[in-house]
Amino acid sequence: MSAPAIASYMTDRIGPLPFCPGCGHTTLTHALDKALVKLQLDPRRVVVVTDIGCIGLSDRYFTTHAFHGLHGRSITYACGLKLARPELKVITLMGDGAAGIGGAHFLNVARRNIGITLLVGNNFNYGMTGGQHSVTTPEEGLTSSTPAGNPEAPMDLCATAAAAGAPWVWRATMFDPDLPDVLADAIAQPGFAMVDVWELCTAYYMPRNQFKKKELLEMFGAHGLTTGKVVDRPRPEYTARLREVLASAKPPRPSPGIEPRFPHAVSRQTGIVIAGSAGQKIKSSAALFAQAGMFAGLHATQKDDYPITVQTGHSVAEVNLSPERVDYTGIERPDFFVLLSEDGLRRTRDTVAALPATSTLYAVDDLELPPTAARVRRLPSRELTKDAGRLSLCTAALAFLLADSGLYPVAALRAAISAFTSPKIAEASLKAAAAGAAAVHRE
């Protein structure tokens, strides 16, 4: 048998591995090297990602790309790398501390099944910061932060990954002679694969707890756990699925531009407030009204105010129309105010009460209004919604406003309706626009 083309994926350029004598991380790091040698992967297509914790000292010894990030976040960088270049083999090495602080990422990478390999050097405590307890410290375990014994229950990383949907999970120890083969199997998986490698921390957890090889292996029995495969249930990997789903996706059609083709009678910035209930199509009707103004050669702005719920509560839209670009978009003294429901009035009562005599207030006929200096015009709601239905009340009211005020022709509103709504909605909206204009003309 000929020698492999690549005999090692590690370098001694920066010296030997820095781990304490007997540390499991040395075993894990060398096992990863052997796994890569077995797979003979192109080092230019492999990234080793680590984060904070002693195991994070390992990436720099690899001759692949190497990325060392923030505590517990290595999974997120690995996912970013894999999403950007699905052809890469991205191998993340992290400790049990990182699995705890990065718990959300641990759960979600398993759930999403992004095809990275996660190797956890699990030595039951934080080695880098002085041996504090982690999410995997056994109950009663002595650490620098549990000096009287750990009162917390440990998390089984494999069971957690499995519950989150990981397709391939293996529980191992640093003493497993087949560890390099297990790691090679994990790396060869197309989907997310995790190996939980139980290790000795010779600096802290081992001396403090008389926790040696024998005790580590006995812990399996005590917890009713075994080494070996925990999960092997392949399912489609995320980036592959994404490519499949997106094969047929098309970018949104660019919105048609608005060329002015109607006249207007707006000599200065004019503020229009439309207040009603959620479900009355306030926001979309106001947008059509603004776009219609643009068909008349005006500049327009729109801001909306509505609760986080839908189909309940108020909806208020503020529109500015101006022959010039609109600088200040606030409307302190609306020139026109359209009031379509009790919800709208409740939200804007102070503004309505403060309307100046120069304002016109268009209010549906059944609404009891607070005293106001504004010129009040009543909207005949039954007549406005007779043909087009209640959902078109706002459009009808805005057509009424246009016909009454002469800001710009109702024909421009019709043009906006035809340009920016689906044929079905346009049919009702055009009827509503006609009803609004007719109601003014009938007077």
Partner 1 sequence: MAFEFVEGNEAIARAAVRAGCDFFAGYPITPASSILHYLNEDLPPRGGVVIQAEDEIASMGFCIGAAMAGRKAMTATSGPGISLYSENIGLAVMGETPLVIVNVQRQGPATGSATRGADGDVQFTRWVTSGGLPVIALAPATVEDAYLLTFVAFNFAEKFRTPVFLLSNAELGIARESADLDAVPLPPRFDRVKAPPAAEGFRPHQFDNPADVPAFADFGGDTITRFTTSMHDKDGFLTSRPAVIQEMVDHFAAKIDAAADEIALVKEDLQDGADTLVVSYGVTSRSVAVAVREARRRGRKVSSLVLQTLWPCPEKALRAAMRGLKRVVVPEMNMGQYRQEVERLAPDGVEVEGVCKMDTTLLSPDEILRKGGLL
Residues found near partner 1 in the complex (CB under 8 A)? 14, 43-45, 47, 59-60, 63-70, 73, 75-85, 87-88, 104-105, 107-108, 242, 246, 249-252, 255-259, 287, 290-291, 294, 298-305, 325-330, 332
Q: Which is nearer to partner 1, 22 or 80 (CB)?
A: 80
Determine the Cα–Cα distance for residues 374 and 339; give it in Å rounded to an integer: 13
Considering only CA atoms, which of 29, 10, 20, 21 is closest in space to residue 174?
Answer: 29
Q: Are 209 and 141 in contact (CB under 8 A)?
A: yes
Q: How many Cβ atoms from other residues are within 10 Å of residue 232's Cβ?
A: 12
CB of 412 to partner 1, least distance (A): 13
Least CB distance to partner 1 at residue 312 (A):
17
Question: Which C-beta is closer to partner 1: that of 101 or that of 172?
Answer: 101
Residue 183 CB neighbour total at 10 angstroms:
27
Choice between 78 and 135, CB closer to partner 1: 78
Q: How far is CA 274 from the centre of its chain?
A: 32
Q: Which is nearer to partner 1, 89 or 431 (CB)?
A: 89
- In this complex, which beta carbon is closest to partner 1, that of residue 151 or of residue 251? 251
Cα–Cα distance between 122 and 161 in angstroms, integer?
A: 14
- Considering the complex, what minimum distance in angstroms separates the CB of residue 426 from partner 1? 17
Distance CA 398, CA 390 (A): 14
Q: Of 290 and 426, which has the nearer Cβ to partner 1?
A: 290
- Listed as own residue / partner, the contacts of 234-238 with beta carbons closer than 8 Å and 24 or more positions apart are 234/167, 234/168, 234/189, 234/190, 234/191, 235/113, 235/165, 235/167, 235/191, 236/113, 236/191, 237/113, 237/114, 237/115, 237/190, 237/191, 237/192, 238/83, 238/112, 238/113, 238/114, 238/115, 238/191
CB of 256 to partner 1, least distance (A): 8
Looking at the Cβ atoms of 79 and 275, the one nearer to partner 1 is 79
* Strand residues in 18-75 grouped as ranges (E): 46-50, 65-68
d(CA 167, CA 238): 12
Closest contact distance (angstroms) between CB of 420 and partner 1 is 9
Nearer to partner 1, 88 or 396 (CB): 88
- Tell me the closest approach of the beta carbon of residue 433 to partner 1, in angstroms: 18
* Min separation Cβ 209 and partner 1, Å: 30
CB of 417 to partner 1, least distance (A): 14
Angle at 297 between CA 293 and CA 301, to 5 degrees: 50
DSSP H helical segments within 50-132, as ranges?
74-84, 96-101, 103-112
